[in-house]
Amino acid sequence: MNYKFRIIKLFFIIIFFLYNTISYSQYYFFGRNKVQYEDFDWKIIRTNHFNIYYYGNVEKIAEIGAAYAEEVYEELKIKLNHVVTRKIPLIFYNTSLHFQQTNITPGLIPEGVGGFFEFLKGRVVLPSNGSLSEFRHVIRHELVHVFMTNKIFRVLRDHRLPTDAMPPLWFVEGLAEYLSTEVDAQAEMVMRDAVINNYFSGMKDFPKIYGTYLMYKAGQSFLEFVEKRYGADKIPQILDNFWMFKKFDDILEYTLGESVDKIDSEWNYELKKKYFPLLAHKKPQEVASEKLTESGFNFSPVYYQKSDSSFIYFNGNRDGYSSIYRLTLYNNKELPKVDLVLRGEKTDQFESFHLFQSSIDINKNGLLTFVTKSGATDVIHFFDIKTKLIQKTFQNDNLISISSPKFSKNGDRIVFQAIDTKGYSDLYIYQIDNDSLIRLTNDYYDDRDPCFGFADENCVIFSSDRTAGKYKGKYNIFFLEIDTRDIRYLTYANANFYNPVLSPSESFLVFTSDLDTVRNIWKQNIINKKFSKTIHQISKFYTSAFDPRFINDSTLVFTGFQNFSFHIYKKQIPPDSLLDVSVIMETNSAKGKWTADLITQTGEFEKLEYEREYALDYAQSVVATDPVYGTRGGGILTISDLLGNDQYYILLYNTAEVQSDFLKSFNISLTRINLGKRVNYGYGIFHFNGRRYDIRESDTYFYEKSHGGVFLLSYPLSKFHRIEASTSIADTEREIVEGISERKAFILSNSISVVHDNSLWVTSGPVDGTRWLMLLGYTTDIRYSNVNYYSVILDYRQYVRLDLRTAIAFRAAIFYNDGKDARRYFMGGSWDLRGWNRWSIRGEKMWLSSLEFRFPLVDELLIKFPIINLGFNGIRAATFFDVGSAWDKQYKTTYGSIGFGFRFNLWNVLILRYDIGKKIEKHFTRLQPGWFYQFFFGWDF
């Protein structure tokens, strides 16, 4: 969102908020909650170039991260010929779950975000997530952002140019990837898929993939191409030349010495030359195996057979919510039927299914085990597919993040991976009947994807980055004796091996490996419980396969990535005689494990307790005119601590309309909001003075002086529910005729509300889920008894999807104020009762109901003009029916409207709404003659 726009919006929100806390507003906010489950005890490691913030048991990981950061700093300073001279704040969390609680960015952080660099104060925030190699990668990635932005700032400042220019996002993220990681299996997978399937063919397609993982990797691929064709030195030169031209393409053209069209053509040709020959000896998954799903994103299949019926259970996101599904296999060629088993992301119990991170499993008795986030940590559920009930749920406060539970052969225990409070990713066994938990490993290596070994032996097979020697840090497959905790290598190669699973007959092991660049399926034979040193390639896909599971010894199901989506596939395992690619493992030379370097305690090294470090977030002055509040000028100042937990808002503005009113028209407020703990609270004082226009009272201006204080409380019960309370006290004096006091009041207002929101949004508003609010309030004048009324607001909104982007939306709301000098509610206009004049229907009591049919109209509209092209994305439409009324003492009439409208999403900032319809008039008895046409902005309800 445009920064300036945000400031202006904030300015008005604060004014609006402060005015309305003293007299209950009919506007309120839904939205999901960022719950502060943890009370973090922050500490600091100070190094030569960084301040590292960590908490609790994360010290070791923080010391390793500090060493990585210093190493990366030294590397980037040389590569970019640049130094960042301030200490860079690095904030470490032990898991994604804790990372999602950060207040450094105000919004909700989606799963899959590996870290972020916050531009305002230059903070880098990231979780360790159990894998030190990934931790190192993310530190490098974010530090490239720090160096790049700092270097560009310095270049522009040295040339005395505005310092707010930045390269396009594909370059920003591509550079961060290019300087932080090699082209790995995942990068190769998405690039192969995009080029071969022809949905990415060079620079002109960057807008099409804006913000996606593919954009990161395509940007990286572009810079790899630049290095190869023009030289690695050209890449930092692009930053050095940033001052030269306003257009980034001109900078590229100058630096690389060729036109952008030529550069693009060459890159496109390179991509095709690299990837098209793969088709000669590699196959798409849908050709070399049977595709079982057709839509959505589908992961982690497990096979279950019940008498004559065969099923595959899997988790996926097929409609916007991650859930568990069942696929019924038929013997004929008919496409399998998919049923929803458990709906996720709508309730506190199944807050998130961690798609792609965690697999599921099922035992022979039909007990399905899977992981969801539930409250502060992940939990493991045991779900009986016959009764369709959760039989048991395992949770442990010390285990924050859990992945991939797998049953033992007899189904009485599971082995799983979990990340503890130290940030260590280790293996655990949970005995279901007696609730006992055994920890198998306890170190900073990323032990993952465990499965039980031979049925008659106490052993576990797993993947880990504990590989030592010449392939240090690679993920190999290991064998662990549970009794002795002895660990030995099953594979040893310069590649990564994941998802081991033993065949039902225990005669071979299957896993995925990027030995041939992307992840394919391989097997390792077992004779007399001895693992062969030779592994054989089962699949030869040009994109990756994940999570292979057995249907039987000759058939696998797995997840495959193809054509920008994940689907479930079934594949026959060819006999060994037909497997022509084999690799011999060098396990004889494989010994021990590597050790991570900790930060050296030299130079400026010190460890400190965190004390709040406040700094200015922004200061902005605004002069604005609006029809309700008139012309006003002022400024807003916000200050917060480094972790974003404690925030101060200082607002100063003046509403004088003539010079003589200047001194008496100063308005000031100071508000503190604390988000550091689960209970969010805020308090503030205000002094407002000036001419006001209150739409709820009359159509006349009046002069009002008010001062007082406000206290706010918000307690999130979960991601979807919260309780809010507020109290305010205000001494007000109002004049309608100058010099004559109209009303004095010392108003005490209290409210409490419960808010729920699990809705799913598309470009113009919600299309699935529910949102509701119940509010009770009481307002009284404790000195003059001029005001005394209570308030009730009930608002319920339900969205029912008919298909992915089409929905029926329903809203019913009651607003009720009763008592002395009660405030009026109002409606009318594009946000509620369409067709009627905006906010023209007013009363102390009000009800409203709306029904909408929302559907997509045009996905992409491109209008070509001679000079520029104008494009709109996501144009939607709706038909609507609204009904409602407002009254003071006596119910008067019922209003209504019916019609249709269009919604344009402008850069995800603003929705433009254009409605056409007919009002229902005369006590709801007839349609208006002619049509109304109404244009406004705002999201759908």
244 or 782, CB closer to other proteins?
244
> Does the footprint of other proteins cover residue 164 (CB under 8 A)?
no
Backbone φ, ψ for residue 33 (5° rounding): -110, 145
The interface region with other proteins, picked from 20-28, 54-62, 150-158, 736-744 by CB under 8 A, is 150-158
The two structure tokens encoding residue 306: 């019940």
The interface region with other proteins, picked from 158-166, 581-589, 608-616, 666-674 by CB under 8 A, is 158-166
Near other proteins in 332-371, by CB under 8 A: none
Instruction: Find the shortest distance in angstroms from Cβ 78 to other proteins.
Output: 4
Near other proteins in 660-679, by CB under 8 A: none
Those residues whose C-beta lies under 8 Å from the C-beta of residue 59, and which sit 6 or more positions away, are 43
Measure Cα distances from 688 to 650, 657, 784 in Å. Answer: 13, 15, 20
Near other proteins in 307-336, by CB under 8 A: none
User: What letter does residue 589 receive in the DSSP assignment?
Assistant: G
> Does the footprint of other proteins cover residue 282 (CB under 8 A)?
no
> Does the footprint of other proteins cover residue 160 (CB under 8 A)?
yes
d(CA 141, CA 173): 8
Near other proteins in 601-660, by CB under 8 A: 603
156 or 639, CB closer to other proteins?
156
In a 10 Å sphere around its CB, with 0-12 CB exposed, 13-18 middle and 19+ buried, how is residue 791 labelled?
Answer: buried
Instruction: Find the shortest distance in angstroms from Cβ 148 to other proteins.
Output: 16
159 or 923, CB closer to other proteins?
159
Near other proteins in 193-232, by CB under 8 A: 231
24 or 73, CB closer to other proteins?
73
Near other proteins in 70-99, by CB under 8 A: 74, 77-78, 81-83, 85
> Does the footprint of other proteins cover residue 106 (CB under 8 A)?
no
Residue 292 near residue 557, CB atoms below 8 Å: yes
Report the candidate in 241, 255, 236, 79 with the shortest Cα–Cα distance to residue 156.
241
Phi-psi map region of 250: left, alpha, beta (phi>0 left; psi -120 to 50 alpha): alpha
Instruction: Find the shortest distance in angstroms from Cβ 230 to other proteins.
Output: 11
User: What letter does residue 587 receive in the DSSP assignment?
Assistant: G
Backbone φ, ψ for residue 23 (5° rounding): -155, 115
Instruction: Find the shortest distance in angstroms from Cβ 48 to other proteins.
Output: 7
Look-up of token digits 């990027």: 514
> Does the footprint of other proteins cover residue 48 (CB under 8 A)?
yes
> Does the footprint of other proteins cover residue 46 (CB under 8 A)?
no
Residues in the chain: 941
d(CA 699, CA 714): 34
157 or 922, CB closer to other proteins?
157
Residue 305 near residue 311, CB atoms below 8 Å: yes
Instruction: Find the shortest distance in angstroms from Cβ 582 to other proteins.
Output: 39
Q: How many residues bind other proteins (CB under 8 A)?
A: 22
Look-up of token digits 């009303």: 743
> Does the footprint of other proteins cover residue 4 (CB under 8 A)?
no
Candidates 27, 107, 110, 158; binder of other proteins (CB under 8 A) is 158
Residue 104 near residue 166, CB atoms below 8 Å: no
For the chain, state the CA radius of gyration: 31
Reduced to 3 states (helix: H, G, I; strand: E, B; else coil), residue 395 is coil
Those residues whose C-beta lies under 8 Å from the C-beta of residue 287, and which sit 6 or more positions away, are none
Candidates 154, 229, 672, 805; binder of other proteins (CB under 8 A) is 154
Residue 559, Cβ neighbours under 10 Å: how many?
28
Instruction: Find the shortest distance in angstroms from Cβ 166 to other proteins.
Output: 18
239 or 748, CB closer to other proteins?
239
Instruction: Find the shortest distance in angstroms from Cβ 258 to other proteins.
Output: 13
Those residues whose C-beta lies under 8 Å from the C-beta of residue 88, and which sit 6 or more positions away, are 49, 50, 51, 69, 73, 122, 124, 143, 146
261 or 339, CB closer to other proteins?
261
83 or 169, CB closer to other proteins?
83
Candidates 157, 591, 664, 783; binder of other proteins (CB under 8 A) is 157
The two structure tokens encoding residue 680: 């969010």
Near other proteins in 228-247, by CB under 8 A: 231, 233, 243-246
> Does the footprint of other proteins cover residue 864 (CB under 8 A)?
no
254 or 902, CB closer to other proteins?
254
Residue 819, Cβ neighbours under 10 Å: how many?
14
Residue 844 near residue 887, CB atoms below 8 Å: yes
The interface region with other proteins, picked from 154-162, 417-425, 785-793, 920-928 by CB under 8 A, is 154-162
> Does the footprint of other proteins cover residue 248 (CB under 8 A)?
no
Phi-psi map region of 395: left, alpha, beta (phi>0 left; psi -120 to 50 alpha): beta
247 or 864, CB closer to other proteins?
247
d(CA 56, CA 275): 47
Instruction: Find the shortest distance in angstroms from Cβ 545 to other proteins.
Output: 41
Give the interface with other proteins as residue ranges (CB under 8 A).
Answer: 48, 74, 77-78, 81-83, 85, 154, 157-160, 231, 233, 243-246, 250, 254, 603
